[in-house]
Amino acid sequence: MENEETGSAGLLLNDLLQQAGMASLGPEQIKQFDIYLSLFVRWNAKINLSSVRDPGEILARHFVESVTCACALPDNISTLLDFGSGGGLPGIPIALCRPEIAVTLADSQGKKAAFLQEAVRVLGIPTKVFAGRGETLSEQFDCVVLRAVDKMADAVHSAAQLVRVGGCLALMTASVDAPRFQSAVGEGYKWGEELPLPGSTGRICLCGVRVV
């Protein structure tokens, strides 16, 4: 069963995306997502990238959310930071779906950073890996995205400082938690509409544009 699910990950992901009313992935993207899922499942058994173990559920819960986020991001983004990337979600799917964006994956945990470096190498994508705390980066980005980060409110506050003026902060979270995280960001951001994430109840992608 595992071979079937991991070997046809892209095809199954396309089915899930179509069910959610989204566009299908191309053949090369299907191949890349096959490889990514295989790596994710293998490393997840060793270093706990996610509490979700079933390959099909990883696709339905993690990958579909990440592809949805990738498609929702503004067109004018050239650089993106995945703050606290963990298993590469949503940064790696964004890199696969939006190759015009220069993605940086930041994670301070050595084993997770090692996974990210291996995934980038195997996938052959020009994505950077920063093995450290995202808030220590000196550069700013067109977009910073966060999903399932420890101490999320603190992380959101730090991440907001890494967005250039005119850029966006994208939060993937539960709708009920969104006001708390918006408060943690503080003033200087104009928030858009909540985008429901497929395959979950109450989870959203919320983007704010830095205006100050």
pLDDT tens-place string over residues 6-20:
447 778 899 999 999
CA distance 14 to 46: 28
Q: Which long-range contacts (CB under 8 A, 24 or more apart) does 52-60 make?
A: 55/2, 55/5, 55/6, 55/9, 56/5, 56/12, 59/5, 59/9, 59/12, 59/13, 59/16, 60/16, 60/199
For the stretch 193-204, pLDDT in tens is 999 999 778 999
> Considering only CA atoms, which of 145, 134, 199 is closest in space to residue 171?
145
Residue 2 above 50 pLDDT?
no
For the stretch 30-50, pLDDT in tens is 999 999 999 999 999 999 899
Look over the chain and give the mean of its residue pLDDT values, rounded to a whole number. 92
- What domains sit in the chain, N to C, each tagged with a CATH number? 2-210 (3.40.50.150)
pTM for this predicted structure: 0.93
> Considering only CA atoms, which of 111, 23, 113, 12 is closest in space to residue 54?
12
Structure tokens, 173: 């979270």
Helix residue ranges per DSSP H, the chain:
2-7, 9-19, 27-47, 55-57, 64-72, 91-97, 110-123, 152-160, 178-185
Q: Whose structure tokens read 């090692």? A: 114
Structure tokens, 21: 């009313």
CA distance 88 to 136: 19
For the stretch 59-111, pLDDT in tens is 988 999 999 999 999 999 999 999 999 999 999 999 999 999 999 999 999 99
Angle separating helix axes 27-47 and 9-19, nearest 10 degrees: 110
